[in-house]
Structure 1
Amino acid sequence: MNAHYGFSATLTAKPGTGGELTDLLLTGLSDGNPGASEYCVVYLVCRSASDPDVVHVTEGWTSEEDHHRIFAGEAAQDIVRRIEGMLAQEPEYTDHVPVRGKAAF
């Protein structure tokens, strides 16, 4: 499957909680969660090399509609609610139109 919609987000955790935020974001890959959906073709969580409380997430989806539908579900909304309480500031988002790439983990 190819990604036709994507975005990256930069999330800044409250001081000293970047590891917890990373762990929470990685639960998104567990069965029943958004990153495990067949419609999510890229779900990459990275920590900043210079600030351990800054976490970057890159997602690629089969379509924007699939992304919105999956994120309207209970599992995704639970993760979103938990993330909100961990942030020191509003997340920064950049929308993408995927062209081509590679992901192997």
Structure 2
Amino acid sequence: MISTYGFSAALTARPGMGDQLVDLLLTGLNEGSPGASEYCLVYVVSRSASDPDVVHVTEGWTSEEDHHRVFDGEAAQAIVAQIAPLLAGESEYTDHVPVGGKAAF
């Protein structure tokens, strides 16, 4: 499959809650969760090197429509509802069209 839609997000957790936010975002890879969907081709959670409460998420999807459909589901909405109380403010999103790259963990 080819990723035709993606985005990156910068989320700032309330002071000292960066670990909780990372742990919650990583549940997005659990079976039945959005990141485990066959339509999600890239799901990377990382942290700022200078501020442990700043968390970055990068996702690549087969299409924007697939992303929205999966995120309308119960599993995704449950994660989103748990994220909101951990955040210090609005998250910053940048959409993009993946053209290539590499990931190894």
What TM-score comes out, normalization by structure 1 length?
0.98
In structure 1, the gaps of 5 or more residues are none
Report Cα offsets for 1:73-104 as digits up to 9, x if no partner. 00000000100111001000000011111223
Aligned residues: 105
SS of residue in 2 equivalent to 1:85: helix
Q: Which residue of 1 aligns with 2:47?
A: 47
Instruction: Note the 1:84-103 alignment, pairs <5 A.
Output: 84-103=84-103
In structure 2, the gaps of 5 or more residues are none
After the TM superposition, list the runs of 4 or more consecutive aligned residues in structure 1 that deviate by more than 6 angstroms: none
Q: Which residue of 1 aligns with 2:60?
A: 60
SS of residue in 1 equivalent to 2:69: helix
What's the CA shift for 1:35? 0.2
What's the CA shift for 1:48? 0.7
Q: Which residue of 2 aligns with 1:69?
A: 69
What TM-score comes out, normalization by structure 2 length?
0.98
- Among the aligned pairs, what percent are the same residue? 75
Cα distance in 2 between the residues matched to 1:50 and 1:2: 33
Report Cα offsets for 1:31-69 as digits up to 9, x if no partner. 000000000000000011000000000000000000000
